[in-house]
Amino acid sequence: MIIKALDVAHIRPSNHIHIQEDDGDGNEKSSLLLRGQMRFINEWDAITFLCMPLIGDLQELQELGLYLTDLSMHDLSREMVLAGWQHNSRLEVSYEKQEERSARLEESLNLLDQWKQRSDELLYSMIPQSVADKLRNGDDPINTCQSFDAVTVMFLELLLLTEESPMEMVTCMNTVFSLLDTITDEHNVYKVETVGQVYMVVAGAPERSEHHAGSIARVSQAMIKEFLKLKRSTQGYENVNIRIGFSSGAVVAGVVGLKMPRYCLFGDTVNTASRMESTCLPGKIHVSESSRHLLQQEGGFTLTFRGKITVKGKGEMNTYWLSEE
């Protein structure tokens, strides 16, 4: 490598020189950084620069058009280039490992999100979302209790023959209740629970609604209609039936229990709705006087007076049949 003669008067003390090569148009083509010592030789009346090139690795050496044999054998130039290449190789390996760890971490976070979503779905199937969020924030379960002046509570019972085997009964209950769950999700109502063969639904709680009686009436009609379709299309369901009863009024609702907590309703309205179901005929929708009054105000429903019936704990009550259509 040839370095042009330098004017001693313009040389400043330095241990580095940066040499640039252009392509003839003033654009930088390549550059080389040299490190060493400058010595003034009296005999030559010139300055010499005893130096070595600063090259990071073999790739940079190749880009400059040099080879290892071009470097001095009497200093550490060759060793430094090889060490830089080894260091870069280790960095590449380390970077690849970090990329693998990052990919595994991202996959774990995605799985965590999926399991969190599943746990949320399971929790919200047991407790209303608004109530569950309060419990997550550390609220006492007692603070989740609310009073509702007007809701409509519905009970549905699946009527099965006792001669059927336990496995057949469980299969039938799973099929019917899964159908009812689908219908419940399509309307503005909340499934409270299933106890044995009884399915409980409420409208107006935990989300308040002015048309809670109409919502329950439409859900009841849809359940009767879809169940009859299932009964006609499924073999072995000839002797299976359902009956529905509902009533409107005030309730108190809240989360009860620490293990397997449930969102429960309390009040005379719940008892009356249960009596409407238990005194109902198969395939019918039995309605109390309070619900009949609300449905007439809303309009669009056909109700038939059943007459006075004796209800346990309530005495004689006027009740009505709700048309399936």
Question: For the chain, what are the domain ranges?
Answer: 141-322
Please tell me the pTM assigned to this model: 0.63
Quick check: 160 pLDDT over 90? no
**What tens digit of pLDDT does each residue of 289-314 get?**
999 999 999 988 999 999 888 888 88
Query: Which CATH code, of 3.30.70.1230, 3.30.450.270, 2.60.98.20, 3.40.50.300, is assigned to 141-322?
Result: 3.30.70.1230
Residue 212: pLDDT band by 50, 70, 90 thresholds?
very high
| pLDDT score of 14 more than 50 | no
Percent pLDDT > 90 in the chain is 32
The confidence score (pLDDT) of residue 141 equals: 63
* E strand or H helix at 214: helix 212-233
Q: Give the pLDDT score at 242.
A: 93
What is the predicted pLDDT for the residue at 143? 67
Cα(286)–Cα(246) distance, integer angstroms: 7
Distance CA 146, CA 163 (A): 43
- Mind listing the pLDDT tens digit for each residue in 68-124? 666 766 666 666 666 665 555 555 667 777 888 888 899 898 988 888 888 777 777
Helix axes 129-136, 77-126, angle to 10 degrees: 130
List strand residue ranges (DSSP E) for the chain, in order. 16-22, 28-41, 46-53, 146-159, 190-195, 198-203, 241-256, 262-266, 285-287, 303-311, 315-322
DSSP string, 121-188: HHHHHHS-HHHHHHHHTT--GGGG-EEEEEEEEEEEEEE--TTS-HHHHHHHHHHHHHHHHHHHHTTT
The tens digit of pLDDT for each residue in 251-298 reads 998 887 667 777 889 999 999 999 999 999 999 999 999 999 999 999
Residues 111-132 pLDDT 10s: 888 888 887 777 777 777 777 7
